[in-house]
Structure 1
């Protein structure tokens, strides 16, 4: 999109929208010297600026005077996108009432629902879902709203998405699912919710690691506890290690102790290391000592 250089009046118009100065907006519009959808170098319009900053009165004024809610920046992001990102429910409602496209994507595929989920704005998420937003839309990397909500630990948002029909196991291009990313990030409350909703406990990411392995490798004991309730694979994985190896390398003793109850103390990785040797190699002395003692007791 080729954008013309802004005039001085256009700059003033944009500043008024940015600052939430509705009176100044009206004054400038009354001069007839500005176009209501004038754009800056990034394609940003006054409506987008007002929506992004949460200026409801300005948004209402601009829409009343004919601003186009379909306008987007060069990144494809619209006024509704920014309202959703900021959690501005009243602005999102006004924009939708004026015909804003509910699933208009940015250049990387993100929709208003996606950013509302990312930021944990449940009222906006609920409103977008109520108005028909696609809960299984996805980014270019195939991440879904549920994936990004799980990644950020937003349990209530995840619950709303699942209730609305979000696919619990829809995977990103690297085959990571919402459960996988929640486990990696240590969100045990989200992991519990996803497992109860039927998430596959042994999903393999493209590197051969399961949610259990990744949680163990990060030392997320509470997540490991939740996953173990669903009988995950505790044996050797395609990545050449067990979850106990992952825990041993993390150095989180509570996590190691929990996994050690499931066996595998003497299992060797593809590199020939037992969990005790893996802990020692990672410099986790207390974990290595604990595992060596467990090895001795299992002879």
Structure 2
């Protein structure tokens, strides 16, 4: 994309669009001194600025004057991308009506649908999908719209995407699934729904950590409770640790109690030869260490 140096008129048009000054935009364009799609050094056009700032009337004026709804910045982001990200539903509709490409992507593979899922704009997600946006798409790291919705705890969007037939176990490049990321983030309602939809409870990231391991390490008791309903592995994982070791390391007594009650072995040694109580004592979580030590005695 070749970008010429901005003139004073270019700058004035951009400022007017950013403010939502319809009369100012019209006056500058009518002067004939500036192109409707003039770009700054980042490739930003007046339409992108007006859309990103939620100025509906200004967007209408620019489109009526012939602004290109498909124009993108050097990053690949379009007016539709920013309108979807910011939740400007009417602007999203208007841009789509005027030829904005629904699946245009940024350099990292992000699309209007991705940012709408990320920011929780349910109405825009539905609008984009109904206008033909591909849900079975992914960013460069292979994260999908479903993954993004799960990561950010957007329940209604997750339900909607699953209803469109989305596969719940699609993996990011590092092997993380939507269930894995939801467990790490502590979104128990998301975890419950993904499990109900058939997500594999022990789908591990490439380092061997399962959703239960991450939830235990983060101390997410409600998530652990949901995962335990689906009989996850309580033994040693490919990373050489167990979920109980993870909870013991961070001193999370409630999760330790949940895991032991579910059948986790407090006498299980990790790859370095430590039982969970050892990790608690080493981290100075004495109460947790004592609980785990006494649990071993009770089992014996």
TM-score, length of structure 2 as denominator length: 0.98
C-alpha distance in 2 between matches for 1:123 and 1:30: 36
Question: What is the 5 A alignment of 1:146-295?
Answer: 146-261=146-261, 262-295=263-296
1:135–1:165: 8 Å Cα contact kept in structure 2?
Answer: no
How many matched pairs?
Answer: 299
Question: What is the 5 A alignment of 1:108-119?
Answer: 108-119=108-119
- Report the equivalent of 1:296: 297
| Structure 2 residue ranges without an equivalent (≥5) | none
Cα deviation, 1:244-299, whole Å, max 9, x if unaligned, reads 11111121111110001123111100110111112112222211111111111111
CA RMSD of aligned residues (A): 0.8
Cα deviation, 1:39-82, whole Å, max 9, x if unaligned, reads 00000000000010010001111111100011000000000000
C-alpha distance in 2 between matches for 1:176 and 1:17: 41
C-alpha distance in 1 between matches for 2:209 and 2:236: 10
Question: What is the 5 A alignment of 1:18-167?
Answer: 18-167=18-167
| Structure 1 residue ranges without an equivalent (≥5) | none
Cα deviation, 1:191-214, whole Å, max 9, x if unaligned, reads 011111111110010110100001
